[in-house]
Amino acid sequence: LSYFLSRWNMKPILKSWQQQQDFVANAAHELRTPLTIIQSKMELLLTKPNEKIISQMEPIALSLAETRRLNQLTRDLLMLARSDSNMTQVTRQPTQMKSFLEQVIAPYSEIAASQDKTFTAQIDLDNAQMIDQKRIHQLLVILLDNALKYTQTGDQVQFKAQIHGNHWQVEVADTGIGIAPENRKAIFQRFYREDKSHSRHTGGNGLGLAIAKWIIDSHQGTVKVLTNEPHGSRFVLSFPIEHIKEHHQQ
């Protein structure tokens, strides 16, 4: 590789790419602390408003919503920039999948009910697997949040986990607006949004599925996006089963 790099004089390009990644990672990191402080101060103002604040509740609530969006965007940018520079660690540990998945999905029945939607789950996965719990949790939250975001009142979100051959699979299906077949690859690109005005309305930044794809790849998994009959989307994730012998199963 170094022979070709020096022959085609590619080293400066690679160096500037690396510098750019470092710049994005550093900038996002620097933004996080002040944003977190602004957000927590605004939350405090709204939970314990004094007399002066009472008349200003609406603009403060609006500013808080935008600050939260900015905070999420900064977190997502930081994660992607770090993964580009191989700075994001994937730390796998033996995990009892049934109890782990039950914990991840626990809040969703209530969240769905509060939006007049239905959430159902079926977990037929009783073994232990080597996973990075934080990352797999983040991945499933991205898919479940999207399933709720792109559905309407009365719609359903379904979660399934099962063994399929020598893989363990997780499915997140919804009866929402669905994704056109020609866009099913593009949705994993950074900042891609199928309908920009709609996504703006739903508060997305177009980075969720790019992060999801990185987490799937880091666990040697695959993802398929299908139509959930008669309408809606179905995300099927598949990961190789690992037989854990030496490790203690937790």
Cα–Cα distance measured from residue 64 to residue 46, given in angstroms and rounded to the nearest whole number:
9
Decide if residue 228 touches ligand ADP (CB under 6 A).
Answer: no
Q: Where are the beta strands (DSSP E) in 91-228?
A: 93-96, 118-124, 128-131, 156-164, 167-174, 222-227
Judged by CB under 6 A, the residue of 71, 96, 120, 199 near ligand ADP is 199
Judged by CB under 6 A, the residue of 77, 187, 216, 237 near ligand ADP is 187
Which is closer to ligand ADP, CB of 84 or CB of 242?
A: 84
Rounded least distance, CB 222 to ligand ADP, Å:
17
Decide if residue 139 touches ligand ADP (CB under 6 A).
Answer: no
Which is closer to ligand ADP, CB of 82 or CB of 213?
A: 213
Which is closer to ligand ADP, CB of 129 or CB of 146?
A: 146
Cα–Cα distance measured from residue 140 to residue 138, given in angstroms and rounded to the nearest whole number:
6
Cα–Cα distance measured from residue 192 to residue 50, given in angstroms and rounded to the nearest whole number:
42
Sign, CA torsion 136/17/75/232: negative
Decide if residue 119 touches ligand ADP (CB under 6 A).
Answer: no
Piece of the chain touching ligand ADP by CB under 6 A; list 59-67, 88-96, 106-114, 139-147:
139-147
Cα–Cα distance measured from residue 15 to residue 9, given in angstroms and rounded to the nearest whole number:
11
CA distances from 19 to 16, 27, 189, 198 (A): 5, 12, 22, 35
Rounded least distance, CB 121 to ligand ADP, Å:
16
Decide if residue 204 touches ligand ADP (CB under 6 A).
Answer: yes
Decide if residue 206 touches ligand ADP (CB under 6 A).
Answer: yes
Maximum Cα–Cα distance across the chain? 70
